Chains A and B, each alone.
Chain A
């Protein structure tokens, strides 16, 4: 833990450690992860599957309790779900018995507050779901469901948005469309976003910084700055700098695993040497 930075980070994770007790013994999911996120920053977390990304994110949201370590939101410890935090889950996670409008009303029913209709209508317009309020979730495509989930998460104007592989279930084109949508909304109204993803392209497109985690137990292996200007056009995304960054992150995630297959793979040793 360094001394207090010049500006207080929006979200700070100090030595987060989580041990799951399972039938076959204790399992160390994440080990002393530390991370700080500035207000209005987008940070992605990438890493091999099972490295504890979701555990880390759910701990940030207050849904999981850490075994040791702490999460600070605006300097105050997070001990449970906070109205300042909006979550977007792996699948859209809409309630199937409620139509779209009622799904977006759901957080307000729980919190006992009044929805800001003007803001919600603006969001619905922005994501192209205006006029779909009466539709049931099963009548919406996967992309539409995920857009609805995004509207629901932003509806109560959280200052932090935590996204757990939000677009993992979508096809590549819909996924890119969603990424552009998140960027657009963020450019309009910079929210602090922490995003878990399996897609390095998505991470580079959206993030200010990318956190690479090591395989289990999850540790923060490296943090990359993503210096490209926004909005990140197709031209920017196809430059050599982006390509190089993609490759170095890929190597960090896959490199160590790939060395196991070094004999059967011709490119792995050459790349590892570079």
Chain B
């Protein structure tokens, strides 16, 4: 009986055809296409070659000056030759991102977990969290620099303030998804409030937590770079202002490229984490 019982959905997943990504809560951000076959890989490479090669060709054809838009080849050369100069700045940006995002994410997660247990407190606090989400934290950077100087501190604070509320608001949405049936189930075995939290609420919130971490870390990156552009002598954002003021466009775009890659890596990281730990949500 068991074999005929298995629902076709399961077979479809294995049999290929449509790719079922990390669905549900993750779908908006993480339902990336999966690479399937050699033919698809070839098509992807071909499109990339056409776009990059075409840009190179057009820039050559219309003799666009380098200070307006450097050719892809020039950017590539700058990336390789100037990378030793850029690398320390990348390191600084990463330090700010990891520290700020770490602080923000932990605070956001804890706050979301606590606040959703007390609906009344949640009502009072939520408007302020929304205010933090909607206010660009970059606006505070000049103030933070006045208070904390040109070191890491103002940037880390700005990153934490930008990413924390983002993590919090998404995680809270996850924690609020109460399935009274599952909670009753746990209670019927005599589960304590803490057990219900760790064994039912937290796993149920996990897909939304990953969404929050992803959005929060991307916001953190934006804020780190923005804060570096405002003031201080190091970091990738500082390189952007510096290169553009010196009209070193290939180097400028090399930094932009590094930032794009960083963003994509963050996206892929959380996509994979979501796929591993939250793919049950169909």
Contacts and interface: CB of A to CB of B under 8 A. Distances in A.
Interface of A: 58, 61, 63, 80-83, 85-87, 89-91, 93, 95-97, 106-107, 109-111, 128-129, 131-132, 136-141, 143-144
B203 interface: yes
Contacts of B1: 128
Interface of B: 1-2, 5-7, 9-10, 181-182, 184-191, 195, 199-200, 203-204, 206, 278, 280-282
A106 B5 contact: no
Contact of A87 (B5, B6, B185): B185
Given A110-B195, A140-B7, A143-B5, A97 B280 contact: yes
B189 A81 contact: yes
A143 B1 CA distance: 11
A140 B190 contact: no
Given A85-B188, A138-B280, A141-B6, A106 B199 contact: yes
A126 B143 CA distance: 70
A87 B278 CA distance: 27
Given A63-B187, A85-B188, A144-B5, A91 B195 contact: no
A136 B200 CA distance: 16
A89 B189 contact: no
Given A110-B195, A136-B280, A138-B9, A97 B203 contact: yes
Given A80-B190, A106-B199, A140-B7, A97 B181 contact: no
Secondary structure of the A side of the interface?
A: loop
B25 to A, nearest CB: 13
Contacts of B206: 97
A110 B204 CA distance: 17
Nearest to B10: A139
23 contacts: A80-B190, A81-B190, A82-B190, A83-B189, A89-B185, A93-B181, A93-B185, A95-B182, A95-B203, A97-B203, A97-B281, A106-B186, A109-B199, A110-B186, A110-B190, A110-B195, A110-B199, A128-B2, A131-B2, A132-B2, A137-B280, A138-B9, A140-B7
Contacts of B204: 97
Contacts of B280: 96-97, 136-138
A102 to B, nearest CB: 11
Contacts of A143: 5
Nearest to B203: A97
A83 B190 contact: yes
A183 B15 CA distance: 38
Nearest to A138: B282
A149 to B, nearest CB: 9
A174 to B, nearest CB: 9
Secondary structure of the B side of the interface?
A: helix
Contacts of B5: 140-141, 143-144
Contacts of A82: 190
Given A63-B184, A110-B186, A110-B191, A96 B281 contact: yes
A136 B277 CA distance: 13
A61 B199 contact: no
B189 A106 contact: yes
The 5 closest A-B pairs by CB, nearest first: A110-B189, A97-B280, A87-B188, A141-B5, A139-B10
B2, B7, B186, B203, most chain A CB atoms within 10 A = B2
A35 B181 CA distance: 26
Given A63-B184, A91-B181, A97-B280, A111 B189 contact: yes
Contacts of A128: 1-2
Nearest to A108: B189
A86, A90, A93, most chain B CB atoms within 10 A = A93
B194 to A, nearest CB: 11
Nearest to A139: B10
A57 to B, nearest CB: 11
A116 to B, nearest CB: 15
Contacts of B200: 95
A109 to B, nearest CB: 7
B205 to A, nearest CB: 11
B203 A111 contact: no
A82 B9 CA distance: 38
A144 B2 contact: yes
B5, B9, B199, B281, most chain A CB atoms within 10 A = B5
A83 B187 CA distance: 11
B7 to A, nearest CB: 5
B189 A107 contact: yes
Given A110-B190, A129-B2, A136-B280, A89 B199 contact: no
A114 to B, nearest CB: 15
Given A140-B7, A141-B6, A93 B182 contact: yes
B190 A141 contact: no
A81 B7 contact: no
Given A83-B190, A95-B203, A96-B281, A140 B6 contact: yes
A6 B9 CA distance: 55
Contacts of A58: 184
A94 to B, nearest CB: 9
